[in-house]
A and B are shown apart, each in its own frame.
Chain A
């Protein structure tokens, strides 16, 4: 990171309070692999904050449609008192710059979710994806806005974020840290006591199976960083690319 302004921006974002999203949420990255198809499974479970452990799972099919656009369709389930289908989600990632072209790599995430609870309307989540390499360390910061449309109850636009640091040791095993959070309405943040922030160690890897077939994984054990967060969240993601 060469420019002071870009260093200040990254530092500011990394030091922002961490918050808690769905326990199976992941850190999206800006690079697109053109023509790649993938089947993805995400799992997450968080210790109880208000009586019930909260777990979630997502199964998806994705495709790199162009060198700059990848799309993915998810089915999402969650479990508190009982397991139930939660939502369909359509995720789109756009690569806005070639990796290494500028001082950081940029992308855009646009997700549209249709919850099974029709009273929740549609959920739109979007925001920039930023990645920067520091030698063998990869840093990601994503700042995401989320809002429900056509919901029975009007909701504010909420601000959240994801970050990760990854030491790229070996293709099959890389390690680092991740954090997730939501700070409340984007223009009127909730008090620190009401924000749920989680962060913790993470591991990543990729194993080639020959030809176009690759298995990728990442997993993290996240600990509460604020009083409203679950004490521990375990999340994992595995992708089969072909």
Chain B
């Protein structure tokens, strides 16, 4: 039992160490729009997306293709882990302002 717990703890620590080495990409929300609207990342690689909401109001990063939903309060940052992704285009929206907040992750 103790050996099993130690194994699980090692897996978590290894995962944490791996997570710390993800390449980072920055996405900005301003005036209810994403900048850049299209963000290119390496395919088959897990990446860390730093989303900086510069608006005063909250926004929700929402993507069915990426399987991510995350609320980012106004004037704050959030981290979203995505991938590894097969090459392709993965759209996302700002659910609270979906008419303007549109974008896509392009894995290549």
The reply to whether A138 and B67 contact each other, CB–CB distance below 8 Å, is yes
* Docked CA distance A201–B57 (Å): 40
Contact with A along B81-104 (1 / 0, CB 8 A): 111000000000001101000000
Q: B93 to nearest A CB, angstroms?
A: 9
The reply to whether B19 and A168 contact each other, CB–CB distance below 8 Å, is no
**A-B Cβ contacts below 8 A, count:** 58
Residue of A nearest to B12 (CB): A102
- For the complex, count residues of A whose C-beta is within 8 A of B: 27
The reply to whether B80 and A98 contact each other, CB–CB distance below 8 Å, is yes
* Docked CA distance A237–B64 (Å): 20
**Which residues 36-84 of B sit at the A interface, judged by CB distance below 8 A?**
46, 58, 60, 64, 67-71, 73, 78-83
The reply to whether B8 and A212 contact each other, CB–CB distance below 8 Å, is no
* Docked CA distance A31–B8 (Å): 21
> B residues bordering A, Cβ < 8 Å?
7-8, 11-12, 15-16, 19, 46, 58, 60, 64, 67-71, 73, 78-83, 95-96, 98
When A and B form their complex, which 3 residue pairs have the shortest distance between CB atoms, in order from nearest? A100-B81, A102-B15, A34-B71
7 residue pairs from A and B, CB less than 8 Å apart = A33-B60, A99-B67, A99-B80, A100-B80, A138-B67, A212-B60, A212-B96
> A residues bordering B, Cβ < 8 Å?
3, 5-6, 9, 31, 33-36, 64, 67, 98-103, 133, 138, 168, 170-171, 208, 210-212, 214
